[in-house]
Amino acid sequence: MTQLTVAPAQTSAQTSTPERSAVPAQAPAARAATPGGRTARTRRYLMCPPTHFDVVYSINPWMDPGKPVDGALARLQWEGLLRAFQALGHRVELIEPLPGYPDMVFAANGATVIGGKVLSARFRHAERAAEGPAYLEWFRARGYETREAVHVNEGEGDYLAAGRYLLAGTGFRTDVRSHREAERFFGLPVAGLRLVDPRFYHLDTALAVLDDELIMYYPGAFSRESQGVLRVLYPDAVIATEADAEAFGLNAVSDGRHVLMPPAATHLMDELRERGFEPIGVELSELLKSGGSAKCCTLELRGGPR
């Protein structure tokens, strides 16, 4: 794999650690903002109803079993996200939740799907271990090409398809060795990114893909080396503030024009409007008690059986 090393004042292609990204030393040119010129593309998503959602253990800084969860409100909020996708013309499929697995509602963690190929999730924490096989069985039953992961990875929580690259998080959940596994299976160059702030334990809490060439992210969530990689690959990225990130504004879903995200990330929503996107606030306050929002609830089905 070609590696990218980023120095403070310049960049050069050479062999480096996995964190510093397996990507060519080449990046898309900066683009001028084109307000109103964004194009939405119809997507297919997999979601899991929050039938058993609750906070009964703590595996990230946002989870506090001592705080009550309103299950009925969580369901209403989740249904609001579902209706928002449907109103935009996107197709949503559902997986049956397993009793005893309250975080299965976070479908993004269940697998990674690119080009109709499915890499299963292998969860780091025992509390979520059964979710990976459950999602994998859903895909196998529908005829997808699947691979059962060897190394720990938490699906689209840490793998984000971004045009010519697969952005891959590590540091808290996903094993860096899984990056090579994903690269070989999907045939995409992997850009490894190290997370360093435990509040942003998955890549999708610190970075969102807006279209094939544009992302938004919070620099403080990443190591200095990974910040350098992101500056090279995405010189015109939308930069989130710490307040945006704490509001889970980066746990967003974009169809290329519409961006579904928590309404509390007001600064980030203004930035997106200036870039020609249409942010849509979706309130998921109950699910935030477990450290997840719109993207966590949404696994994109890129290709494969219908």
Task: Give how far Cα 274 sits from Cα of 32, 38, 49, 277, 283, Å.
Answer: 11, 11, 34, 7, 22
How large is the greatest C-alpha to C-alpha distance in the chain, in angstroms?
53
Residues with catalytic function: 202, 296
pLDDT at 3 over 80: no
Instruction: Round to whole Å and give the CA distance between 269 and 274.
Output: 9
Q: How does the average pLDDT of the chain come out, rounded?
A: 90
Give, in degrees to the nearest 5, the angle at Cα 42 between 36 and 47.
Answer: 120
> What is the tens place of the pLDDT at every residue in 81-138?
999 999 999 999 999 999 999 999 999 999 999 999 999 999 999 999 999 999 999 9
DSSP string across 52-81: T----S-SSTT--TTS---HHHHHHHHHHH
* Closest alpha carbon to 300 in 103, 169, 157: 157
In this structure, are residues 190 and 165 in contact, taking their beta carbons and an 8 Å threshold?
yes
Neighbours of 15 (CB within 10 A): 9
Tell me the per-residue pLDDT of 190-217, one tens digit each, with 9 for 90 and over.
Answer: 999 999 999 999 999 999 999 999 999 9
pTM: 0.88
Are 219 and 174 within 8 A, CB to CB?
A: no
Q: Does pLDDT of 177 surpass 80?
A: yes
Domains of the chain listed by start with CATH number = 44-300 (3.75.10.10)
The pLDDT value given to residue 36: 58
**Positive or negative CA dihedral for 20, 23, 26, 27?**
negative
Structure tokens at 1: 């794999």
Mean pLDDT value of segment 281-306 = 96
pLDDT tens digits for range 21-65: 333 334 443 343 344 589 999 999 999 999 999 999 999 999 999
Q: Which residues contact 42 (CB under 8 A, 6 or more apart)?
A: 89, 90, 91, 255
